[in-house]
């Protein structure tokens, strides 16, 4: 499987969200290909990135009054739990737990971008569109 950012498949034309998703894919690929000695650091970097990104998306959901955001948040929580679980396994000496998760996460993120994140990007776009360009003050 090619773990690369694919504009036609992954881009949501959502600026900062797309930027963060490119970082997600880079970190996932790095974890999936990590040597035993590098697995803990690669996993930690992906975990921190996901925690930050998921918090940012929560703020965007709140700001755009996104419907059904609980499902999106549940998916984030499930991914977070997988990362914590793999970190525990690595700490217990189970080499390869990070690489295995990295491979699984690529498919999972691919689906997450195309569903929950795509819906969020649309809500954000709709909110910006509803706000309009604004009318300049006169006088």
**Integer CA distances (angstroms), 21 to 85, 91, 110, in order:** 22, 27, 10
CA–CA distance, 85 with 77 (Å, rounded to integer): 12
Stretch that binds Fe ion, among 7-15, 29-37, 99-107, 117-125 (CB under 5 A): 117-125
Size of interface with Fe ion, in residues (CB under 5 A): 3
Buried b (16+ CB within 10 A) or exposed e, 40-67: bebbeebbebbeebbeebbebbeebebe
Binding mask 46-85 for Fe ion (x = CB under 5 A): -----------x----------------------------
Q: Segment near Fe ion (CB under 5 A), from 62-70, 90-98, 110-118, 121-129? A: 110-118
Residue nearest to Fe ion (CB): 117
Footprint of Fe ion on 10-49 (CB under 5 A) = none
Applying CB under 5 A, does 117 fall inside the site for Fe ion?
yes
Nearer to Fe ion, 6 or 88 (CB): 6
- Nearer to Fe ion by Cβ, of 24 and 30: the residue is 24
Best CA proximity match to 63, nearest among 112, 126, 110 = 126
Contact yes or no for 26/42 (Cβ under 8 A): no
Residues that bind Fe ion (CB under 5 A): 57, 116-117
């Amino acid at each position: 499987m090619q773990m690369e950012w694919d504009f036609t498949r992954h881009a949501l034309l959502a600026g900062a969200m797309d930027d963060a998703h490119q970082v997600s894919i880079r970190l996932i690929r790095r974890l999936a290909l990590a040597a035993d000695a590098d697995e803990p650091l690669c996993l930690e970097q992906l975990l921190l990135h996901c925690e930050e990104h998921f918090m940012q998306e929560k703020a965007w959901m709140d700001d755009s009054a996104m419907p059904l955001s609980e499902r999106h948040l549940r998916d984030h929580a499930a991914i977070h739990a997988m990362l914590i679980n793999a970190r525990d396994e690595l700490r217990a000496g189970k080499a390869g737990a990070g690489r295995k998760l990295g491979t699984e996460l690529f498919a999972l993120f691919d689906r997450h971008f195309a569903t929950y994140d795509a819906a969020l990007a649309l809500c954000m776009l709709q909110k910006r569109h509803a706000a309009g360009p604004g009318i300049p003050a006169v006088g």
